[in-house]
Amino acid sequence: MSSPSGDARHLPAQRGGVWEVVIGMEVHVQPRTRSKMFCGCAIGELGDAPNTHVCEVCLGLPGVLPVPNKAAVEACLKTALALGCEIPRHTKFDRKNYMYPDLPKGYQISQYDLPMSINGHLDVGGRKVRIRRVHLEEDTGKLIHAGDKLHKAWESYVDLNRAGVPLMEIVSEPDLRSADEARDYAIELRTLLRTIGASEAEMEKGQMRAEPNISIRREGSSELGVKTELKNINSFRALHRAILFEVERQKQLFEAGDTVVQETRGWSEAEQRTFSQRSKEFAEDYRYFPEPDIPPLELDRAWIEDLRRGLPELPAVRRARLVADHSLPHRDVAVIGADRELADLFDGAVAAGAPAKQVANWIVAEVAPSGKLPSAQNLAELVKLVSDGSITRDQAREVLVESVETGRTPAEIAAEHGHKQVSDESELRVLAEAVIDANPKAAADFRGGKKQAMQALMADLRKRAPQANPKVANELLLKLLG
Amino acid sequence: MTDDLTQLTIKEASRLLRLGSISAADLVTAHVQRIERLDQHVKAFLRFTPEVWEKQADEADRRLRQGDAPPLCGIPLAVKDVLCVRGVETTAGSQILKGFRPPYTATAVARLFEAGAVMLGVTNCDEFAMGSSTENSGYFPTRNPWDLERVPGGSSGGSAAAVAAGEAMIALGSDTGGSIRQPAALCGVVGMKPTYGRVSRYGLIAFASSLDQIGPFARSVDDAAITLSLMSGLDPLDATSSDRAGMEVLNNFGAGVKGMRLGVPREYYDVKGIEPGVKSAIDAALAVLRTQGAEVVEVSLPHTDYGLAAYYIIAPAECSSNLARFDGVRYGMSEVDAPNITEQYLETRRKGFGSEVRRRVMLGTYALSSGYYDAYYLKAQKVRTLIKRDFDEAFKQCDAIVSATSPTVAFPIGSKTQNPLSMYLCDVLTLGGNLAGLPGISVPCGTSHGLPVGLQVLGPQWGENVVLRVARSYEEASGVKTQVADVV
């Protein structure tokens, strides 16, 4: 598709000043469907034997016809709605004509001048990034060359498992200003896609491909510079690094009095650099024209409204609510707001009566890193056991693990292990004295003014007695050392 | 006796089959014997399919014995080389597909197989259905059974000639600009192109996707109607197919034309290059229809002159894209010794495609190119809209449109091959129906200098019933019976 960064050719002013980075993103996302875009073939997995998910349609045999996959259209419309796009009444497919051995029909079915949606936006870190369009197309196959370099390969093999796999192309305007923003945009997009169930958007599995278009200009300039488009990016980390590299490369070119050539550049993970793939000096003529085998789609308004109503709470709305309703700190909002399952767990546990801040704390510190989710009911119960002083945090951690594994309730598990919290001062005083005796150096340090020595004493105390109420024990130590 | 069996209509043959007077095997044998005698002269067939017909004839006889014979049980069928039949070499009349055996059967063919038809073989055609004489076949030209020195028309010339010569009772063709109706006219048989979307195109090797339709050749309007009705309707494998009404023909199409208004477009009636003999045959046909109670009125299709130009932009544009898949990578001819992939493409396509196909691929590529798209493709689409509107307006004043199918009778082999434009003009009366997606039929309406003339009836979209009703009424009243050509 046309690239979002500009085509204007100009030399940024050679005089000093700060460089401004201008990035537009083209992101290809594989919608969650059972079958390919225009035939009934199953979507294979990475690493399946070549040409095992193919039929006469995706092989491009003579006389066969494409029939659009409704699930893919639906995923694309949901994505467009979640991005606040306008959905035109009419949309159509077009043929993009070029010959290549991984393209069985000699054309790719895509969308040209009447895409499924236009003019949306995605908020990234408080900034509004405009979305130009979201449209639907089909993937191509894959070439495997005997030998690692194409021009040296004696034989090339074609694997058409990917040919005809549906792809949504999400094109942003050139609104991003740094590698950080570009990465955050991609992550935010993935969060959105997962939240609405449109795609797994797993970059490592090839379900999401980000292609940034990058140019630089002197700050204050409103013109767009000559851009390069980066490909072969397989992770958010690679996206970030590739952009940093490319921006630096462009700066050095300009500062050496050179110019940037409009081209497609690949990112080499091994060498951590971009390299020229294909010059766009002479733009290829794709001879787009309306796909005659698929009648134009008239998008039923009632269907669109049904899809809109069916959308779950979107990440941005969810984050705003977490702040407004529960005054959660930014760190917690970032984690919980980014994952629909964590957010649902939070809402469930709070609804079950657990205090919001503690629930958030437990989710961010324990649940999210482990990736294993307890039921909302169980999490709520656990948080309550800790907050009413029935068990200690350390005990609660063990209980959580066991509860996730067995599905049993935290109260049951705690009772079985005899977990309880000891807050009795006379009992704890004996313990505190023993700790001070066993750690004469730490005790002396504390008395000498090194306040952080208390940490070592508390650690030893909790090791000796995990059931000790840390707050009471701490007060006793202070009193004894004072 | 056996030759008599090759003169029958479906109705007549079905009666004999059901009475047990003949078997499906007898019927097939009679046709095969006639083919053996005549096809060396006519050359309607590219290939014969004994492995298919033996099995299908056996099955037909089994079902006849069981008394559950489907409507086309045992009826000998010929299939144009653009329709894929599982396991049968299908080449679109092109060397580039030599040896290609599709692993699937076109929906239209599959439906006729289900209805009991017995496939005799694959018929010749212009390469990728591009032509009006079957001289562009990548294999050999087919001859007109009425005069072996003349063309059968095209592109479905093999199918038309097979039915005309008594080598098949019915045949399938495809019509992109007149490729069923024009050869039907030139060979003196009935040929019908349905409304775009009436018959699934799944398995039809595409020439121009927005214009292509599959239709039948037959010896009577009844036979064409029943064959068409059996292959029509929605197909989940073709997004442009439809199950719209309009095919309830067998109920009312014997109702005659009394009270109907038949429009004669003046641009068609006086089309440039129309032969006097053709014109007088059409006049006679109009007189017959009048005596049957039809009112004949003059109508106008003002954009007719631009139709040919628009057609020769749109059809090549689509073909340039449709034919891109013939790249020698996955099937068909492949010049694998080329030094690189680009040379492999170029060599394969240079050797595999004939000159007319190459000409249209180049024309279409040019018309879609950046900088020319608006002036050519887009303009042609606008003309197409105007032509549709012409028909819409005309159908406000009449129920059906009648004209000659072809301005000329069959012309001598070789007489137009040096001048592509003169060949393109063969379709001037038929291609409007494709641009507008309308149903049309050609029925025999006498002769000029001993060669058949065809009467074309066009109806509004989804108006097959109207078209068939007019055609049948004419056929009945005129007494012009489709004759089997006496070849040698």
Q: At B383, phi and psi to the nearest 5?
A: -60, -40
Q: At B127, phi and psi to the nearest 5?
A: -55, 125
Distances (CA, A) of A84 to A70, A75, A310, A339, B124: 21, 14, 14, 20, 55
pLDDT of residue A150: 56
- Contact check, Cβ <8 Å, A285/B369: yes
B252 CB neighbour count, 10 Å cutoff: 12
CA A349, CA A347: separation in Å to the nearest integer?
6
The DSSP secondary structure of A29-85, one letter per residue, reads: E----SB-SSS-PBP--TTPPTT-S--TTTTT-TT------HHHHHHHHHHHHHTT-
Residues in A touching B84 (Cβ below 8 Å): 62-63
Residues in B touching A97 (Cβ below 8 Å): 320-321, 324, 368
Residues in A touching B321 (Cβ below 8 Å): 95, 97, 106-107, 287, 289
Residues in A touching B331 (Cβ below 8 Å): 61
**pTM for the full model?**
0.89
pLDDT of residue A8: 42
- Contact check, Cβ <8 Å, B203/A63: yes
pLDDT of residue B165: 95
Sheet holding B213-218, edge to edge: B45-48, B118-123, B76-80, B170-175, B213-218, B190-193, B440-448, B451-458, B400-404, B261-265, B295-299
> What is the β-pairing status of strands A263-268 and A273-279?
antiparallel
pLDDT of residue B250: 60
Domain boundaries, chain B: 2-255
pLDDT of residue A4: 45
pLDDT tier for residue B2 given thresholds of 50, 70 and 90: low
Distances (CA, A) of A160 to A43, A103, A106, A109, B263: 11, 9, 13, 15, 53
ipTM score of complex: 0.95
pLDDT, average across residues A86-112: 96
- Contact check, Cβ <8 Å, A289/B377: yes
Please check whether residue B207 touches A, CB under 8 A: no
The percent of chain B in helix, strand and coil, each rounded to the nearest 5, is: 45, 15, 40
pLDDT tier for residue A266 given thresholds of 50, 70 and 90: very high
In this complex, the residue of B100, B103, B239 whose CB is nearest that of residue A68 is B239
- Whether the pLDDT of residue A11 is over 90: the answer is no
Residues in A touching B369 (Cβ below 8 Å): 285, 287
- Per-residue pLDDT tens for B149-174? 999 999 999 999 999 999 999 999 99
CA A465, CA B37: separation in Å to the nearest integer?
107
- Whether the pLDDT of residue A371 is over 90: the answer is no
pLDDT of residue B278: 98
Buried residues in B298-319 as b, exposed as e (16+ CB within 10 A): ebbbebbebbbebbbbbbbbbb
pLDDT of residue B484: 73
Q: Which residue of A has its CA nearest to B200?
A: A65
CA B305, CA B300: separation in Å to the nearest integer?
12
CA A236, CA A234: separation in Å to the nearest integer?
7
Residues in A touching B337 (Cβ below 8 Å): none
Please check whether residue B39 touches A, CB under 8 A: no
Test mutation, A35, A58, A65, chain B, max B CBs within 10 A: A65
For residue B171, the cross-strand partners are B78, B217
- Whether the pLDDT of residue B233 is over 90: the answer is yes
Please check whether residue B106 touches A, CB under 8 A: yes
pLDDT, average across residues A179-206: 95
Which of the pair, A118 or A151, is modelled with greater confidence?
A118
Judge residue A479's burial from the number of C-beta atoms within 10 Å of its C-beta, 0-12 exposed, 13-18 middle, 19 or more buried: exposed
Residue type, A432: A
State the smallest CA–CA distance between residue B144 and chain A in angstroms.
28
- Contact check, Cβ <8 Å, B330/A292: no
pLDDT tier for residue B472 given thresholds of 50, 70 and 90: very high
pLDDT, average across residues A226-230: 95
Read off the DSSP letter of residue A14.
S
Percent of chain B at pLDDT > 70 equals 97
CA B464, CA B225: separation in Å to the nearest integer?
9
Sheet holding A107-110, edge to edge: A107-110, A94-97, A289-290
Percent of chain A at pLDDT > 90 equals 67
- Whether the pLDDT of residue A143 is over 50: the answer is yes
pLDDT tier for residue B339 given thresholds of 50, 70 and 90: confident
Find the chain A residues whose C-beta atoms sit closer than 8 A to any C-beta of B.
Answer: 56, 59-68, 95, 97, 99, 101, 104-107, 156, 158, 285, 287-289, 292-295
List Cβ neighbours of A167 (8 Å cut-off, separation of 6 or more): A28, A29, A30, A31, A37, A136, A137, A138, A139
Residue type, A433: E
Residues in A touching B90 (Cβ below 8 Å): 62-63
Cα Rg, chain A, nearest whole Å? 29
Q: At B72, phi and psi to the nearest 5?
A: -105, 25
- C-beta of residue B384 within 8 angstroms of C-beta of residue B435: yes
pLDDT of residue A280: 58
pLDDT, average across residues B326-351: 90
The least confident of A358-367, A465-474, B216-225, B393-402 is: A465-474
pLDDT of residue A465: 80
- Whether the pLDDT of residue B338 is over 90: the answer is no
The least confident of A213-222, A292-301, B14-23, B244-253 is: B244-253
Give Cα A430 to chain centroid, integer Å: 52
Cα Rg, chain B, nearest whole Å? 21
State the smallest CA–CA distance between residue A295 and chain B in angstroms.
6
In this complex, the residue of A62, A292, A295 whose CB is nearest that of residue B84 is A62
Domain boundaries, chain A: 19-221+283-303, 313-416, 425-481
For residue B150, the cross-strand partners are B412
pLDDT of residue B293: 96
State the smallest CA–CA distance between residue B320 and chain A in angstroms.
9
Distances (CA, A) of A259 to A31, B369, B435: 39, 30, 51
Distances (CA, A) of B219 to B278, B289, B488: 21, 20, 20
CA B140, CA B125: separation in Å to the nearest integer?
9
Q: For residues A227, A229, A234 and A236, what is the CA-based torsion angle, rounded to 10 degrees?
A: 20
- Contact check, Cβ <8 Å, A105/B92: no
- C-beta of residue A315 within 8 angstroms of C-beta of residue A191: yes
- The dihedral region occupied by B52, where left means phi > 0, alpha psi between -120 and 50, and beta the remainder, is alpha
CATH code given to domain B2-255 = 3.90.1300.10
Catalytic residues of B: 80, 155, 179
In this complex, the residue of A59, A67, A97 whose CB is nearest that of residue B330 is A59
- Whether the pLDDT of residue A278 is over 80: the answer is no
pLDDT, average across residues A462-482: 84
- Contact check, Cβ <8 Å, A95/B321: yes
As assigned by CATH, the class of the A425-481 domain is mainly alpha
pLDDT tier for residue A302 given thresholds of 50, 70 and 90: very high
Residues in B touching A288 (Cβ below 8 Å): 368
Q: Which residue of A has its CA nearest to B81?
A: A63
Test mutation, B244, B313, B322, B361, chain A, max A CBs within 10 A: B322
Written as six digits, the tokens of B16 are 């004999």
pLDDT of residue B3: 61
Residue found by looking up tokens 């393209």 in the block: A103
CA A227, CA A31: separation in Å to the nearest integer?
29
In this complex, the residue of A64, A67, A105 whose CB is nearest that of residue B324 is A105
- Contact check, Cβ <8 Å, B102/A61: yes
